[in-house]
Amino acid sequence: MSINFVPDNFNVPTSFVNNLYRLEILAPIFAELDYDAVITSKERLRGVFAEHTEWPKDDISLEDNIRDLKRHEKEFHTRKAFAYSVLTLKIDKCLGCVYIEPSLSDEFDCDVYLWMRDSEINLDEILYKDVKNWLA
């Protein structure tokens, strides 16, 4: 893996919009919307990142979530990783998240994780295809 995740001259997209949803930088401004998506989907989310992860814990608080989002926003602006909130077009509900991180394997440029809240799981495959095409 190279020292820099992306080249210094690479213009990292800050948003993506289609007719179903929009992706915006995962940041504290979306904390309440994100928190609602996390707590309503926490059982399933525990298997998204690792088989035995404890995130999100049953007692996760809004303050915990704000801390996480501050970290994600900092990683974005320092170009260490790129996390996006998947929002409705009106930005009144968080539907899920997309995380793009340096790969732990030399075979890949990045690892991508994504999830949709339980109530919007029907959009999961669409999001997967959109992100795959967006990154190609």
* Mean pLDDT in residue range 3-8: 81
What mean pLDDT, rounded, does the chain reach?
Answer: 92
Predicted confidence (pLDDT) at residue 21 exceeds the cutoff of 60: yes
User: Cα Rg for the chain, rounded, in angstroms?
Assistant: 15
- The pTM of the full predicted model, rounded to 2 decimals, is 0.93
Give the pLDDT band of residue 2 (cuts 50, 70, 90).
Answer: very low
pLDDT greater at residue 104 or residue 62: 62
Q: Which domains does the chain have, with CATH numbers?
A: 15-135 (3.40.630.30)
* Model pLDDT for residues 85-123, shown as the tens digit of each residue: 999 999 999 999 999 999 888 898 899 999 999 999 999
pLDDT greater at residue 2 or residue 110: 110
Of 97, 19, 89, the closest CA to residue 56 belongs to 97
* Mean pLDDT in residue range 3-11: 85
